[in-house]
Amino acid sequence: MMNTAHGVQSPPRRLHRVAVLVVAGAAAIWCLWATAAILWEGPSFALASRPFQAAMELGAAASLFAVALVAFGRGAPGGISGVALGFAWLVREWANPATTQAWMLTAGLLLGAAWLPLGARIALAHPLSNPLPLAGRAMIAFAAVAALGPAAVRTATLDPAAGGCPSCAPNLLLMVDAPQVAAVADYVGVILQLTACLLLVTWLATGLILASTAVRLVRAPVAAASAALFVAAAIGYSSALIDGFGAHEAMRRIIGAQSLSVLAIAAAIAWDPVRLRLMRRSTARLVTELSSTPRPGSLRKELARLVGDPTIALGFPLDDGRVVDESGREVTEPLSDAGQGGEGSRGRRSTTLLRRDGRALVVLFHRPGLLDDGSYRDSLARASGLAIGNERLHAELAAQVEDLRRSRAALVASFDAERRRLERGLHDGAQQRAVSLLLALRLAASRQPDEPTAEAIAEVQSALEELREVAHGLYPASLAEEGLGSALQELSERATIPFRIRASPDGRLPEAVETTGYAVISATAGRADVTSAEVAAVRSGSDLVVSVRGRLKQGVSQDAAPPGGLALEDRVGAIGGTLTSSTTVGTLDVRAVLPCAW
> SS3 letters for 488-519?
HHHHHHHCCCCEEEEECCCCCCCHHHHHHHHH
Is 165 domain-assigned?
Answer: yes
328 has a pLDDT exceeding 60 = yes
Number of domains, the chain? 3
Does some domain include residue 420?
A: no
Give me the domain span that covers residue 32.
11-276
Rounded mean pLDDT, 173-202: 91
pLDDT digits (tens, 9 = 90+) for 76-96: 666 788 899 999 999 988 988
Counted residue by residue, the chain has a size of 598
Question: Minimum mean pLDDT among 183-187, 195-199, 423-427, 510-514: which range?
Answer: 423-427
- Has residue 585 been placed in a domain? yes
pLDDT in tens, 274-296: 776 776 666 566 556 555 555 65
Residues 173 and 128 in one domain: yes
What is the C-alpha separation between 71 and 20, in angstroms, rounded? 13
Examine the domain organization and report whether 326 and 259 are in the same domain. no
Instruction: Evaluate if residue 546 carries a pLDDT over 60.
Output: yes
Mean of all residue pLDDT scores within the chain? 77
Amino acid at 345: S
> Do 75 and 192 have their domain in common?
yes
pLDDT of residue 339: 37
pLDDT at 26 (0 to 100): 92
This prediction has a pTM of: 0.56
Residues in a beta bridge with 593:
545, 578
Judgement on whether residues 154 and 241 belong to the same structural domain of the protein: yes
CA distance linking residue 231 with residue 194, whole number of Å: 9
Both 51 and 146 in a single domain?
A: yes
Residues 269 and 215 in one domain: yes
Point out the least confidently predicted range of 21-30, 105-114, 169-178, 562-571.
562-571
pLDDT at site 213: 64
Q: Is the pLDDT of residue 537 over 80?
A: yes
28 and 174 within one domain: yes
pLDDT above 70 (res 493): yes
Which one-letter DSSP state was computed for residue 330? B
Q: Encode pLDDT of 11-23 as tens digits.
A: 566 777 788 888 9
Q: Are residues 271 and 308 in the same domain?
A: no
354 and 498 part of one domain: no
Q: Which residue has the higher pLDDT, 566 or 393?
A: 393
d(CA 455, CA 355): 82
| Strand intervals (E) in 35-170 | none
| Order of all β-strands in the sheet with 543-552 | 499-503, 530-540, 543-552, 587-595, 578-584
Does some domain include residue 290? no
CA distance to 24, 270, 274, per residue, from 76 (Å):
16, 10, 12
- pLDDT, tens digit, 9 for 90 and up, residues 512-530: 888 888 888 888 888 888 8
Distances (CA, A) of 445 to 369, 441, 487, 552: 90, 6, 37, 47
Answer yes or no: do 134 and 92 share one domain: yes
What is the per-residue DSSP string for 452-496? HHHHHHHHHHHHHHHHHHHHHHH--HHHHHH-HHHHHHHHHHH-S
Inside any domain, residue 522: yes
Q: What is the pLDDT averaged over residues 174-189?
A: 90
| Residue 453 maps to a domain | no
Does 134 share its domain with 245? yes
Whether 430 maps to a domain, the answer reads no
Do 161 and 309 belong together in one domain?
A: no
Which CATH number is 389's domain given? 3.30.450
